[in-house]
Amino acid sequence: MNANSGTNLTKSNLLGTNKLFGLEVNYPVFLISSGLAILFSSLVLIFPESSSVFLSSSRNFVVSRFDTLFTVSMSVFTLIIFILILSPAGRIKLGGEDSSPEFSFLSWICMLFSAGVGIGMTFYGAAEPLSYYTGIFGTPLNVNPVTEEAQRLAFSATIFHWGINGWSVYAIIGLSLAFFCYNRNLPLTVRSIFYPLLGDKIWGWQGDLIDVIAVLATLFGLATSLGLGAQQAASGLLYLFDIPNTLLSQTLIIIFITAVAIFSVFRGLDKGVKLLSNINIGLAAILLLFVILAGPTYQILTSYGENLAHYFQDIFRLSSWNRIEDQDWYRDWTIFYWAWWISWSPFVGMFIARISKGRTIREFLTAAMFVPLMFSLIWFSSFGQTAIFQFQEGIGELSKPVGDISLVLFYMLDNLIFPVLTSLFALFILVLFFVTSSDSGSLVINTITSGGKENTPRIQRVIWATIQGLIAIVLLVGGGSYALSAIQAGAISMALPFSFILIAATISLLRGIYIEINFSEKKETANER
């Protein structure tokens, strides 16, 4: 593939779309992915217990047998990204020299962040550092719980899970998609990443298979999140207002989330998804500021620098894959997180690629790595420090270790001023994060199933948002917790094949960038002559 080969490819010739009841779709990907989604949902619905056992066993197999692969891969991805940032490749602009960003830097960051980790940070902000400190689920590196070392590693490990290592996965696949789409004029689909390795085979069944897997991973991952989010939200409503946590309440929550997501995707990326993402990040910032001011302010503010320094000091210990001393904790937490990040990478990677045209590689990677790191540092330090302070001082429900981590946030807020108002506010933010993930995911699925087209009929985007909500409701109604657990385990299990896809994507990206730089140097030399 030469440097200009991408410009000779036309999306319409290589990955054409067809009309299906007014929809613009790629037949194999659309029909196979939707068919498998229906079949898989039906099987889980009919055999929830068997599905749960099978997929949970698969998850345990992946986590226990491939822990070294996950850990080493994450470290290698991170190292490669740092090399790209510092190398001449960083000057390459996604879309060419004449391209300009579609969104402002702030809106771009908000959308990137909302799609990536907003849900988890809201849910685990207080719970994860506190659980590591108290040792209720074990401690990092097997240190003694409720000690200074435990507090140090509680924050180091939490930031490690949500910082540059995790985001390196999103950055790699996002940059790969953006580069081959905007700089090689290939469709914005996962198959395009592999053009340097597979050549024209990506337009055949091999490419269809890659895209189908990406669609299913995104669809069921988001449907699971909707179901689990509904259960968490219902638990919060039960705790706050004694509203019964029933199947009906969970279903109504899913309908509400889906309705807002449909409204968002109907309005489009600029007027819908961007708007909700900006609102979501703004509300999250308000909640963060409240916790800083209402909580142990001095301890929170002084913890930022300490936790960042400890994070960089401990990152190499936490990155080790030879973990005899804390093997159970390492597999239950770190490997679980790496598998979860990888399983979500096709969705988040494609979305951030879609919104990043006009950015340089250096700008893209720096923002995708360090902005989430700094926000995670501030967020987890603020919420975690407040929760640990309440535990140390014996305040309220957090005076003892909490086994149900879904309630830690509410317990923490209950010990501050305006507990009902702030808890309801946090619950609203959690739901809104689910909405932004749902509408972003709908756009991604629609892009893949339409052969990389970005301007499809509005109803097409609405259909995928509706399907996500319906699958979540069907799983809740038919299988309850068994079905949701099964699909969640399936998402984790899919991290294994996607880890190999990410490795191949990295190789393909480096080859493409090398060709780009080599071509540019030859062009400059020719012009000088």
DSSP states of 133-174 as a string? HHTBTB-GGGPPSSSHHHHHHHHHHHHHHHSHHHHHHHHHHH
Residue extents of the structural domains in the chain: 5-120+159-383+424-528
Question: What's the confidence (pLDDT) of residue 9?
Answer: 42
Quote the Cα angle for 305-309-311, to 5°.
115
pLDDT, tens digit, for every residue of 491-529?
Answer: 677 778 878 888 988 999 998 888 888 766 565 555 555
CB 285 within 8 A of CB 375: no
- Return the exposure string of 71-100: e unless at least 16 CB atoms fall within 10 Å of the residue's CB, then b: bebbbebbebbeebbeeebbebbbbeeeee
Question: What's the confidence (pLDDT) of residue 310?
Answer: 95
pLDDT, tens digit, for every residue of 416-438?
Answer: 999 989 999 988 888 887 777 77
Range with the lowest mean pLDDT among 11-15, 44-48, 283-287, 367-371?
11-15
Question: What's the confidence (pLDDT) of residue 274?
Answer: 65
pLDDT at residue 7 tops 50: no
Q: Give me the helix-helix angle, 458-493 and 48-65, nearest 10°.
A: 60
**Average pLDDT of span 221-240:** 74
Question: What's the confidence (pLDDT) of residue 407?
Answer: 83
CB 77 within 8 A of CB 349: no
What's the maximum distance between 2 C-alpha atoms anywhere in the chain?
79
Question: What's the confidence (pLDDT) of residue 282?
Answer: 85
Give the global pTM: 0.85
**Average pLDDT of span 381-391:** 96
What's the mean pLDDT when you consider all of the chain? 82
> Which are the contacts of 515, defined by CB distance < 8 A and separation ≥ 6?
1, 2, 3, 196
Range with the lowest mean pLDDT among 55-64, 107-116, 371-380?
107-116
Dihedral angle sign, alpha carbons of residues 33, 39, 45, 50: negative
pLDDT, tens digit, for every residue of 290-336?
Answer: 999 999 999 999 999 999 999 999 999 999 887 777 888 998 889 88
pLDDT, tens digit, for every residue of 80-130?
Answer: 999 999 998 888 999 888 888 888 888 787 777 666 666 678 878 899 999
More confident residue, 148 or 491: 148
pLDDT at residue 404 tops 80: no
pLDDT at residue 281 tops 70: yes
Q: Which tokens go with 367?
A: 């923002």
DSSP states of 425-443 as a string? HHHHHHHHHHHHHHHHHHH
Nearest CA among 191, 186, 148 for reference residue 5: 186
Question: What's the confidence (pLDDT) of residue 522?
Answer: 60
**Average pLDDT of span 382-389:** 96
pLDDT band at 5 (very low <50, low <70, confident <90, very high): very low
Cα 58 off chain centre by: 21
